[in-house]
Structure 1
Amino acid sequence: MTARWGLTIPMTGVPLADHREIVEGLTDLGYTDAWSSETNGPDAFTPLALAAQWGPELRLGPAIVPVYTRGPALLAQQAATLAELAPGRFVLGIGTSSDTIVQRWNGIPFTEPYQRVRDTLRFLRKALAGEKVTDEALGVKGFRLEKAPDQAPPIVLAALRPGMLRLASREADGAITNWLAPHDVRTVRGELGEEPELLARLFVCPTDDAEEARAIGRWMIAAYMTVPVYRAFHEWLGRGDALKPMNDAWAAGDRKGALEVIPDEVVDDLIVHGSPAACRDRIREYVDAGLTTPIVAVVPTGGLAPADAVRALAPSAG
């Protein structure tokens, strides 16, 4: 069994305030981590602040916070706050996010993503260590945290392709990825190396109804894989030809047609589905392939209620 087993919070369809009972029970179920995200729902930090109090033994982190949508100083402030709330248990996950989130939704130019992540990582290392930082590339002049955390948090990078994976290996404490199959983990490890921590959010649909799972999965895949950063990721992983009909239909405005041409094999590769026992076995395939920390993202179905899914997918369940 993997030493780590994470859960994505907040869970879809569950109000944030109703997560207390779920989070309080995670450690007893064998979960070690709780990881948030930031797209168009809750922000990444507020759920972790609550979880720091509800789950005092859990490791916590955002997977991920975009480096564009907060100024570097504010990002350091929020990271320092979480590091104080959960000393020794907070890991800061940062990344580029996507042009959709950064540019279309926030009106911020999505330029030079590799450089922006690299420079922000270096800034955060210094700021969270209590140094006074001036960084011309980021436009920062003489920033210092009022109180640096007693223990600077590890920083992990969202990394989908070789350049960012190598940056994570050289300068960060690990890498975060998602939307991959177990055999893809070996490709990612080939660039990251064997030593750094590798985390991945796994979309898990615990249902025996394969057609239901695939229908949900097709919507999710179309929403993600038509975004340029994910399209490039899967071209690198070797799915370019399999996903080309979907991308062509999507670009032509044929949303229904795009869903219909996504092969079952691609859905089964990227969405963990089946009985809870089958899902747990599939998650362990990722670990056997080199994933350090699986982060379960429960995909709602007509079957298990969210709290029941958390229990059924827990490592302690079998």
Structure 2
Amino acid sequence: MNLSVSLGLWQDRPAEEALLTARAADELGYPTLWVGEMATYDAFALATAIGLATARIGLTVGPLAVAVRDPMMIAMGAASVASLTGRQVDVAVGTSSPTVVESWHGRSRARSATALRETVQVLRPLLDGDRSGFTGACVSSTGYRLRLPAPRSRLAVAAFGPSAVRTAASADRMVLNLVTPASAARLTARLRAVNPDVPVTAWVTAAADPDREAVDRVRRAVVGYLPAPGYGEMFAEAGFGDVVAFARTRPHPRDLLAAVPDELVASVSLLGDPRAQLAAYAAAGVDEVAVVPVGTDRDPGGAATLASLAAR
């Protein structure tokens, strides 16, 4: 199994730790860095800064929300980063969450599955330098061609539901986030039933020597998924049905956080010795684990975690 790195972009850590994580990943020889977008840096701006601050690591920008960024914006952004840094720049897209799309951006997530499928259709020729010429139900772009050299980016799709998995089957890679090995196995099997040649990456949070700060940071990241359709059932299957049932009563976030056991956090993370969990993801058919290192006061940027995993 291959290992890459994904930036954590933890909202309760200094934003500039992203560059610390990137430099550590580059120096340790990880081949690829996934550069997402949350509440701090613009993803393309951050990817450019990383490319200029590191020596060789490849960059994958995203997943970018298809209801927020249109295909021309994504293609232009990828070509810009590639031109300014000289790196291979790949792209990931997804539907993102209601909080990001509807609350932060004021956009609609209606027909998001269609928008995801159509975005993939439009992006492929644009990233290869061809002129756009597509009009769909949700997405369209006609008459645009990159002025910069075409990045010829590989295209990844973040998937969880059946429709997104089918769209991922037409892309270059499927990406899974916050999934147990059992859930990864089901999603990978669905993908391979449609297209057996598409590889699968799972983003998995990691802390090599987890202290209470690290575990609690992952716990806070997990709680928002517990009541969500699909994710709640996944955690229930893993043996945490009581926690899911409690989450769906809409308790105060403080009370829900306190109800999440460490064992639930560990079911979707690499905490401590990663060998058994990595073997479980490999057995599930996952081709690559993108390690999301937990930054803490004891391990800023998760650099020590990355070093520990690289040594293994």
TM normalised by structure 2 equals 0.84
CA contact (8 A) 2:122 2:140 kept: no
* 1:260 aligned onto 2:258: yes
Q: Which runs of no fewer than 5 residues in structure 2 stay unpaired? A: none
User: Which residue in 1 is equivalent to 2:120?
Assistant: 121
CA contact (8 A) 1:165 1:175 kept: yes
User: Which residue in 1 is equivalent to 2:200?
Assistant: 198
Give the CA deviation at 1:307. Answer: 5.9
User: Which residue in 1 is equivalent to 2:216?
Assistant: 215
The one-letter code of the counterpart of 1:90 is V
What's the secondary structure of 1:63's corresponding residue?
strand
Give the CA deviation at 1:118. Answer: 0.5
Farther-moved stretch of structure 1 (18-27 vs 135-144): 18-27
User: Which residue in 1 is equivalent to 2:31?
Assistant: 32
The one-letter code of the counterpart of 1:206 is A
Give the CA deviation at 1:190. Answer: 0.7
| Whole-Å separation in 1 of the counterparts to 2:267 and 2:292 | 16
User: Which residue in 2 is equivalent to 1:303?
Assistant: 298
CA contact (8 A) 2:206 2:305 kept: no
| Whole-Å separation in 2 of the counterparts to 1:304 and 1:77 | 35
What's the secondary structure of 1:156's corresponding residue?
strand
CA contact (8 A) 1:250 1:258 kept: no
Farther-moved stretch of structure 1 (184-193 vs 281-290): 281-290
| Whole-Å separation in 2 of the counterparts to 1:303 and 1:99 | 33
Q: Which runs of no fewer than 5 residues in structure 1 stay unpaired? A: none
Deviations for 1:134-188, whole angstroms, at most 9, x for unmatched residues?
414246353312426344211110101222112211x110111111223432222
| Whole-Å separation in 2 of the counterparts to 1:70 and 1:257 | 36
What's the secondary structure of 2:224's corresponding residue?
helix
Farther-moved stretch of structure 1 (150-159 vs 251-260): 251-260
1:21-100 equivalent positions in 2, closer than 5 A: 23-85=22-84, 89-100=88-99
CA contact (8 A) 1:243 1:262 kept: no
User: Which residue in 1 is equivalent to 2:281?
Assistant: 286
Give the CA deviation at 1:237. Answer: 7.0
1:107-146 equivalent positions in 2, closer than 5 A: 107-129=106-128, 130-138=130-138, 140=140, 142-146=142-146
| Whole-Å separation in 2 of the counterparts to 1:291 and 1:9 | 20
| Whole-Å separation in 2 of the counterparts to 1:52 and 1:236 | 37
How many residue pairs get matched? 307
C-alpha distance 65-296 of structure 1, shift in aligned 2 (>3 A)? same
Give the CA deviation at 1:102. Answer: 0.3
The one-letter code of the counterpart of 1:292 is D
CA contact (8 A) 2:116 2:167 kept: no
The one-letter code of the counterpart of 1:252 is R
Percent identity reads 21
Give the CA deviation at 1:111. Answer: 0.4
The one-letter code of the counterpart of 1:266 is L
RMSD after superposition: 3.0
Deviations for 1:90-128, whole angstroms, at most 9, x for unmatched residues?
111001001111011111111011100001111111222
| Whole-Å separation in 2 of the counterparts to 1:272 and 1:257 | 25
What's the secondary structure of 1:185's corresponding residue?
helix
Farther-moved stretch of structure 1 (123-132 vs 303-312): 303-312
CA contact (8 A) 1:5 1:30 kept: no
| Whole-Å separation in 1 of the counterparts to 2:10 and 2:261 | 27
What's the secondary structure of 1:300's corresponding residue?
coil
| Whole-Å separation in 2 of the counterparts to 1:245 and 1:43 | 35
Deviations for 1:66-112, whole angstroms, at most 9, x for unmatched residues?
11112332222112223434567211100100111101111111101
C-alpha distance 29-285 of structure 1, shift in aligned 2 (>3 A)? farther
What's the secondary structure of 2:56's corresponding residue?
coil
